[in-house]
């Protein structure tokens, strides 16, 4: 019990000590808070004092720098003014010097001075309204006009012979070109155009006269310009290469020549002579090719001839592998040629007129007047056709690898040569008109083949088999019919190849008009008629056997055998003739009609 009382007293003492300590801590905390509040008020007071001093310092600095800023702006304006006055002085001096150079025709110095004045004037764009600047710009404009008139006046003497008398004239004109380059680009265009027009004045005077304004004098026109360029080549070196004066001269020459040739062709009272017309066109094409090669401007299609070579050849088993390889290597080379040229740098688009096509610039004026050429080609082809048919033997040599009539192959060789001639001249409407001539010629040949087939009338076998006619054919006639079938097949195939070749070379806008389907239908009709004729002829050979059969008293016969005595003879004739036909016909598929036709005879027997 005593121990518990002691513990209670100890706890009470601890509580009392804690209460006393807490009381002392509260008092100390209040003192600390008061001290902190006082310190904050003192700090705020110091901040306000610093801020006030800073504002005073800023005001002081602004007052100090105000005069310095004014001086800085004043310095900048003075510098700009000094620079402007200096440039103005230089501009005034340069303009005065340029005026003196212009009056003395010192072109080389004036060209450099022009560049300097142009650069100085660019600095005064903002002062265009300033009276002094306006006055200087107007003066500069007048000086440039004076220079232009002097240059044009001096160039007017070029080509008059003065360059031979005055040795320094060419050098002076060469210097004048620098002045022209320093002036506006329009001045150079005007100068070059005036020079070209002046060079072609004599050309117009010469070839507009009654003596040379003729179609047969066309070649002399191109000789004149080539001689003119060759003669003046050294003199024209005064022009900078970037001006392309010979190129521009040739363009103007071509345009004037086209206009004159159009007038000549339109004013002809009669149809032009074909030889003269074609010669003029040929010389024109050659001249255009020379210009295109010299200045650039597109390449004439090299593959047109290859397309023509693809038709007119009969298929032959003798064609070896090397021939086929060469053929396709040639085609591959044609298609890869332009691409390889571009890779090798052959096609240089930087040459003058790379985007201008000289081909057709003059020759196109002949196109509407080539009707007489087409008429002549048609007349020649028709005459050759008549001659070939008249000379045709309607027979094939035994050693020949082809069972096609020679007239068929010769006709397509003539057509191929005609196509080559025309495609070398034009690939436009005239080529399409010639293609239509080919259609008429081939249709006429189909008619000739049709007319050569044997004719016949009504007969016993025809009536019995439902055929329309009886035809008696000899062994020679049967050979001719086979040759006609072969030739018609050859013409059918080759005419399609002809159309494909023309489509490759003709203008793309006219491709749709190239079609040989009507011609091919004509030859298909010839094939059909020939086969029917051959069947009719074969049937006619059974007439005697059929007549004998009708005379037999079938009603009185007492017995019959396994095979009629009348069967072996027709069977032997049929077998023999079919073997003969197949021997003369290389492609047996065409004669599928023959056994079909013979089916009616078999049913009858």
Least confident range from 196-205, 249-258, 314-323: namely 314-323
Nearest by Cα to 265 from 357, 359, 373: 373
Are residues 179 and 151 in contact, defined by beta-carbon separation less than 8 angstroms?
Answer: yes
Q: 3-state DSSP call for residue 507?
A: coil
Domains detected in the chain: 2-153 (no CATH), 371-550+564-604 (1.10.357.50)
Higher pLDDT residue, 314 or 31?
A: 31
Residues, the chain: 605
Least confident range from 56-70, 193-207, 231-245, 567-581: namely 567-581
Is the pLDDT score of 270 beyond 70? Answer: yes
Is the pLDDT score of 415 beyond 70? Answer: yes
Residue 154: CB partners within 8 Å, gap ≥ 6? 105, 169, 172, 173, 176
Nearest by Cα to 505 from 381, 437, 419, 377: 419
Least confident range from 75-79, 314-318, 422-426, 562-566: namely 314-318
pLDDT of res. 283: 92
Cα separation, 98 vs 95, in Å, equals 5
Higher pLDDT residue, 78 or 299?
A: 78
- 405-431 CB burial, b ≥16 within 10 A, e <16: bbbbbbbbebbbebbeebbebbbbbbb
Task: Report the 10 Å Cβ neighbour count for 318.
Answer: 7
Residue 588: CB partners within 8 Å, gap ≥ 6? 582
Cα separation, 133 vs 144, in Å, equals 16
pLDDT of res. 497: 93
Cα–Cα–Cα angle for 572, 569, 588, nearest 5°? 25
Is the pLDDT score of 39 beyond 80? Answer: yes
* Residue appearing with tokens 């000789």: 223
Cα separation, 128 vs 136, in Å, equals 10
- Give me 352's structure tokens: 């003058």
* Residue appearing with tokens 């026109």: 221
pLDDT of res. 489: 93
Are residues 256 and 203 in contact, defined by beta-carbon separation less than 8 angstroms?
Answer: yes
The four Cα atoms 142, 146, 152, 156 give a dihedral, to 10 degrees, of 150
Least confident range from 160-174, 185-199, 206-220, 569-583: namely 569-583
pLDDT in tens, 117-150: 888 888 888 777 888 888 888 888 898 899 989 8
pLDDT of res. 61: 82
Is the pLDDT score of 321 beyond 70? Answer: no
Is the pLDDT score of 453 beyond 90? Answer: no
Quickly state the pLDDT bin for 592 (edges 50, 70, 90): very low
Are residues 435 and 507 in contact, defined by beta-carbon separation less than 8 angstroms?
Answer: no
Is the pLDDT score of 328 beyond 70? Answer: no
Cα–Cα–Cα angle for 406, 411, 415, nearest 5°? 150
Least confident range from 199-213, 362-376, 558-572: namely 558-572
Backbone angles phi, psi at 161, to 5 degrees: 100, -10
Task: Report the 10 Å Cβ neighbour count for 59.
Answer: 10
Are residues 258 and 264 in contact, defined by beta-carbon separation less than 8 angstroms?
Answer: no
Burial class (CB in 10 A: 0-12, 13-18, 19+), 63: exposed
Higher pLDDT residue, 77 or 446?
A: 446
Quickly state the pLDDT bin for 316 (edges 50, 70, 90): very low
Residue 494: CB partners within 8 Å, gap ≥ 6? 311, 312, 412
* Residue appearing with tokens 């492609």: 587
pLDDT of res. 347: 39
Is the pLDDT score of 580 beyond 50? Answer: no
Mean pLDDT throughout 188-217? Answer: 86
Residue 174: CB partners within 8 Å, gap ≥ 6? 238
* Residue appearing with tokens 């002081």: 60
Is the pLDDT score of 239 beyond 60? Answer: yes
Burial class (CB in 10 A: 0-12, 13-18, 19+), 600: middle
582 CB-side CA count, 13 A: 12
pLDDT in tens, 485-494: 989 999 999 9
Residue 530's H or E segment, with its range, is: helix 517-540
Q: What is the mean pLDDT of the chain?
A: 78
Quickly state the pLDDT bin for 10 (edges 50, 70, 90): confident
Cα separation, 154 vs 169, in Å, equals 8
pLDDT of res. 409: 92
DSSP H stretches of helix in 158-233: 162-165, 169-182, 185-199, 201-207, 218-231
Chain centroid to CA 516 = 26
Cα separation, 360 vs 14, in Å, equals 128
pLDDT in tens, 336-386: 444 444 334 333 333 454 456 788 889 889 999 899 999 999 999 999 999
**Could you tell me the sign of the dihedral formed by the alpha carbons of 406, 408, 409, 415, in that order?**
positive
């Amino acid at each position: 019990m005593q121990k518990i009382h002691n513990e209670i007293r100890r706890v009470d003492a601890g509580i009392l000590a804690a209460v006393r300590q807490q009381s002392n801590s509260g008092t100390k905390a209040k003192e600390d808070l008061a001290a902190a509040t006082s310190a904050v008020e003192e700090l705020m007071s110091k901040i306000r004092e610093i801020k006030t001093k800073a504002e005073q310092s800023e005001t002081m600095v602004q007052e100090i720098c105000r005069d310095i800023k004014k001086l800085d702006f004043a310095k900048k304006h003075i510098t700009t003014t000094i620079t402007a006055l200096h440039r103005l002085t230089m501009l005034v001096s340069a303009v005065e010097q340029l005026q003196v150079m212009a009056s003395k025709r010192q072109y080389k110095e004036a060209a450099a001075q022009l560049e300097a004045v142009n650069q100085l004037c660019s600095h005064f764009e903002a002062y265009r309204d300033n009276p002094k600047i306006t006055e200087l710009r107007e003066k500069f404009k007048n000086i440039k006009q004076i220079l232009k008139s002097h240059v044009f006046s001096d160039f007017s003497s070029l080509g008059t012979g003065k360059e031979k008398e005055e040795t320094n004239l060419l050098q002076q004109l060469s210097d004048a070109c620098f002045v022209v380059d320093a002036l506006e680009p329009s001045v150079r265009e005007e100068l070059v155009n005036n020079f070209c027009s002046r060079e072609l004045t004599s050309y117009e005077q010469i070839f507009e006269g009654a003596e040379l304004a003729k179609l047969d004098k066309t070649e002399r026109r191109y000789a004149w310009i080539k001689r003119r360029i060759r003669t003046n080549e050294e003199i024209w070196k005064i022009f900078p290469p970037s001006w392309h004066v010979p190129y521009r001269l040739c363009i103007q020459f071509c345009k004037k020549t086209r206009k004159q040739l159009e007038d000549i062709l339109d004013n002809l009272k009669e149809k032009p002579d074909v030889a003269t017309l074609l010669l003029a066109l040929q010389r024109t094409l050659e001249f255009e090719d020379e210009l295109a090669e010299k200045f650039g401007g597109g390449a004439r299609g090299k593959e047109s001839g290859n397309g023509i070579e693809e038709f007119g050849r009969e298929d032959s088993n003798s064609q070896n592998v090397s021939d086929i390889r060469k053929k396709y290597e040639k085609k591959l080379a044609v298609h890869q040629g332009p691409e390889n040229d571009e890779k090798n740098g052959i096609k240089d688009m930087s040459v003058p007129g790379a985007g201008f096509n000289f081909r057709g610039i003059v020759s196109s004026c002949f196109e509407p007047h080539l009707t007489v050429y087409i008429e002549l080609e048609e007349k020649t082809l028709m005459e050759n056709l008549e001659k070939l048919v008249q000379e045709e033997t309607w027979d094939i040599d035994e050693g020949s690898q082809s069972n096609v009539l020679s007239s068929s192959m010769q006709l397509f060789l003539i057509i191929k040569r005609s196509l080559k001639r025309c495609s070398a001249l034009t690939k436009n409407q005239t080529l399409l008109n010639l293609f239509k001539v080919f259609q008429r010629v081939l249709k006429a040949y189909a008619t000739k083949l049709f007319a050569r087939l044997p004719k016949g009338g009504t007969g016993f076998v025809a009536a019995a088999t439902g055929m329309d006619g009886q035809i008696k054919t000899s062994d020679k006639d049967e050979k001719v019919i086979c040759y006609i079938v072969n030739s018609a097949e050859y013409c059918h195939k080759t005419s399609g190849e002809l159309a494909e070749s023309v489509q490759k070379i003709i203008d793309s806008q006219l491709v749709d008009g190239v079609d040989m389907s009507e011609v091919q239908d004509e030859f298909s009709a010839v094939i059909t008629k020939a086969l029917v004729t051959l069947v009719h002829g074969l049937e006619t050979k059974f007439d005697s056997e059929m007549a004998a059969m009708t005379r037999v008293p079938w009603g009185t016969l007492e017995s019959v055998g396994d095979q009629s005595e009348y069967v072996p003879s027709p069977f032997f004739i049929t077998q023999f003739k079919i073997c003969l036909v197949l021997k003369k016909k290389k492609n047996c598929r065409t004669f599928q009609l023959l056994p079909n036709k013979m089916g009616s005879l078999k049913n009858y027997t």
